[in-house]
Amino acid sequence: MRQSTQTVVTSAFQAPGAVPVVGAPMAGGASTPELVAAVNEAGGMGFLAGGYASPDALASRIARTRELTGRPFGVNLFVPGPDTADRERVQAYAREIAPEMDALGAAAGEPRWSDDDYPAKLALLLEDPVPVVGFTFGAPAAAEAAALHTAGSAVMVTVTTPDEARAAAQAGADALCVQGAEAGGHQGSFDDAEERTLPLLDLLGRVREAVDLPLVAAGGIGDAAAVRKVLSHGAVAAQVGTVLLRTDESGASAAHKRALADEVFPGTAVTRAFSGRRARGLVNRFLSAHTSEAPAAYPQVHYLTGPMRAAAAKEGDTDRLHLWAGTAYRSAEECPAADVVRSLAEGADTTAPARP
């Protein structure tokens, strides 16, 4: 079974009508079944985000996606890390941001550790397999990857360093999502202790030297020229997320969609302020005010700020909302997702043979 799963990712981009574009799994609601299906029907490969979803909700989204598309798609899971948060620092941070909560009439969430129902969601995917299962924040155990292979699923792991690439390959990954520093949202590094600094093209080259696996490039990809560039540097496809956020099928909040087109935001920066884990977003007031004091405490800070962020989204308050965005966010347009995918694939060479 392993030999067949190794070709799932590359062969998906060689099928008739296929294009080398992957729709990124964006946790929190942006990656709807409708968005996955739209990416697929334009010839790409869409991903559902399993992160933050309950097992029942994920099962429902998988079923809905199957109703909408017959092309291969993926489901991504967050690999839980150890509970290493400094509780005193988390409580101090809670006190610091309390006025932000009060301004929106939101109570602070409970700053707790969670495994994000990882075992239950993995069991779901073993019982009801999908073509590709992705992993972020770490690699699956070798036994978990082997079980997915037996079920017929390919395994793709997000990596941010050559060492992570080697570890993922050893665990049984069939392909890697190589995430450069330009990417929006959470950094997919296994160890969040140090900031990732490698630009995508540099990282692609180093990972290609480290492992012999198909590579999907992610980070700051906003147009067809960027797609062609990563393909010329050895990627089999480009993964995009930010440029899909404003599309008709995206589940991103209306406030987030508006912010991506609002010139009041000067750019992006990496922060722990909203979740306790490094993530790239638009520079707004909350990010500017609290990045320096935010502790390395994920998912504790994610749960702590959750009610505030939900209230901010509802009220359209972009000063206190997590506005995840990659460096190419100005390329995001309000249009059907299929149009974005077709535009990204313009001029891409899809004739190269699939890797074994």
- Give pLDDT tens digits for 117-140: 999 999 999 999 999 999 999 999
pLDDT of 353 above 50: no
Q: Across residues 246-258, what is the average pLDDT? A: 98
Supply 259's token pair: 């912010």
**E-strand spans in the chain?**
21-23, 45-49, 74-78, 132-136, 154-159, 175-179, 185-186, 215-218, 237-240, 268-271, 279-282
pTM for this model (two decimals): 0.95
Average predicted confidence (pLDDT) for the chain:
94
> What average pLDDT does this structure show over 337-345?
97
Would the pLDDT of 355 be above 50?
A: no
Query: What confidence score (pLDDT) does residue 354 get?
Result: 41
Burial class (CB in 10 A: 0-12, 13-18, 19+), 284: buried
pLDDT value at residue 2: 54
Percent of the chain clearing pLDDT 90 (strictly above): 90
**How confident is residue 4, by pLDDT bands cut at 50, 70 and 90?**
low
Residue 119 tokens read as 């075992």
Query: What pLDDT, on a 0 to 100 scale, did the predictor assign at position 347?
Result: 78
* pLDDT on residue 352: 45
**What's the pLDDT score for residue 349?**
66
Q: What is the 3 state secondary structure string of 198-209?
A: CCHHHHHHHHHH
